[in-house]
Amino acid sequence: MAQKRERGLYKPPNSPNWYFDFQINGRRYQGSTGESSLTRARDVLERKRAEARDEANGIKRSSNKRVLFSALLVSYLQAKSEKKSRPSDIGKVSKFVSFFGGNTPVSSLEGNEMEFHKFIKARLLGDIFVTSRYDSKAERFVAVQQPGKAPACSRVNVNRDLALLRSIFNWGIENGLCARQPVKRTMFDRRAEEQSKRMEFLTDSEAERYLSACSPQYYPVALCALETGCRRNEILHLAWADVDLNNSVFTLKNTKAGKQRTVYITPRLAETLVKIKESRGATGHVFLSRSGDAYKDVRRGHGAALKDSGLEDERKRAGKPPLRFHDLRHTFASALAKSSRDLNVVRRALGHADIQTTMRYAHLTERQYSDSVRLMSEEKSKQACQNMGDNVRIFTIVDLQGEKVEEFNSEKTALNQAFLR
């Protein structure tokens, strides 16, 4: 039997356990992980490598018995102050410290995986009572004046929470605040991640029904999503200073890919933006809520539009999943892919950093490509027959006894030749 192996790990044919084998600064580290599971063996390898790096750099790992969970979170947020996801991270760590307790020693969490399974269940059920929040200015956790329960969330969002927790503990291990990683890869729901990558599209008629059911405040936001394919945050953070109606473009400066992107404004969207500009001026954010503040959440407007348009009930009866706001972006992308047949155009319009992300729309361009080739062949065949004019002649094939075997005309020959060219 062949030996199983992956980078840093191998499993001898006659052993139930995985072994680690790696080098740090020229020194080789070998031994048994004591784990038969590849996932758990990877966690052991990760911990062994961290310990080896500390040893190679002369770092003595300090005891983490006195390190409190709140101190670990604060230290992480301070070290990662430039993270683009910092606002989202702050919201997550408030739930972490409320559930696990800020005064809980880190050492007690490292060996207690059951607490993290309880956290997963509490997040799914909306059973976390948020009592603390992170104060960015004071750089500490403070009590919430009006504590309340965090809403229930999907399994995908739980995966996001676990990913942040795992990053925090990894950072703690590297900086001597933790000894081991308690958030295991087996805690993640990979099936939920795959399902979250699904793509739903609206047909042209469905998109018009959806827009017709939008409230006056939400309509410009929805139209911008359908006409430009921009992401939710790109739309909600758009400022008038970045809009150039004279040239029908606006500039996105804070994108997911970290690169500035120019977006072309369609005539329909331009007409809507002009009306907004004339009604309340061109200062601050482009899209405002009914209260006059920057639009922050699309869930209410999106949900109402789905319900009032009848699309929500139709999808339920058809057994289709609920339509998300992000699917408006997919609707734009699918229409663009069908019309352009160039995935680079789609990638540029959507702001994808990697063409592999855009490849999810490849089947649409392939279908359009095959249809175009078929239509081209038909046109070519018709043209060939027209060029024959009145010179279509009847041919008869006979055998040696003079009996007719097959009869065909020159038009059939022209058709075959046209398809073979």
The amino acid occupying position 371 is: D
- Give the tens place of pLDDT for each residue, 310-324: 999 999 999 888 898
Q: Which of 325-329, 353-357, 375-379 has the lowest mean pLDDT?
A: 375-379
pLDDT over threshold 50, residue 397 = no
User: What pLDDT score was predicted for residue 35?
Assistant: 85
DSSP β-bridge partners for residue 133: 142
137: CB partners within 8 A, 6+ apart: none
pLDDT over threshold 60, residue 389 = no
User: What pLDDT score was predicted for residue 386?
Assistant: 62
Residues 82 and 137 in one domain: yes
Residues 135 and 217 in one domain: no
Residues 403 and 325 in one domain: no
C-alpha triplet 174, 188, 61: angle, nearest 5°? 15
292 vs 124, more confident: 124
Residues 217 and 278 in one domain: yes
Residues 340 and 377 in one domain: no
In a domain, 372, yes or no: yes
Confidence of residue 395 (pLDDT cuts 50, 70, 90): very low
Residues 213 and 192 in one domain: no
Domain that holds residue 105: 69-196
In a domain, 360, yes or no: no
Residues 341 and 260 in one domain: yes
In a domain, 64, yes or no: no
User: What pLDDT score was predicted for residue 152?
Assistant: 87
Give the domain CATH number at 299: 1.10.443.10
User: What pLDDT score was predicted for residue 205?
Assistant: 93
Q: Residue 303, by phi and psi: left (phi above 0), alpha (psi -120 to 50) or beta?
A: alpha
Residues 260 and 228 in one domain: yes
Residues 170 and 32 in one domain: no
Residues 109 and 160 in one domain: yes
In a domain, 112, yes or no: yes
State which of 308, 325, 353 marks the end of a domain: 353
pLDDT over threshold 80, residue 173 = yes
In a domain, 221, yes or no: yes
State which of 196, 227, 244 marks the end of a domain: 196
In a domain, 62, yes or no: no
208: CB partners within 8 A, 6+ apart: none
In a domain, 361, yes or no: no
32 sits in which H/E element: strand 27-32
Q: Number of folded domains in the chain?
A: 4
pLDDT over threshold 50, residue 25 = yes
Residues 349 and 208 in one domain: yes
State which of 196, 229, 261 marks the end of a domain: 196
User: What pLDDT score was predicted for residue 412?
Assistant: 42
In a domain, 41, yes or no: yes
Residues 85 and 178 in one domain: yes
Q: Which of 105-109, 231-235, 348-352 has the lowest mean pLDDT?
A: 348-352
For the whole model, what pTM was predicted?
A: 0.56
Phi, psi (degrees; rounded to nearest 5) at 307: -70, -50
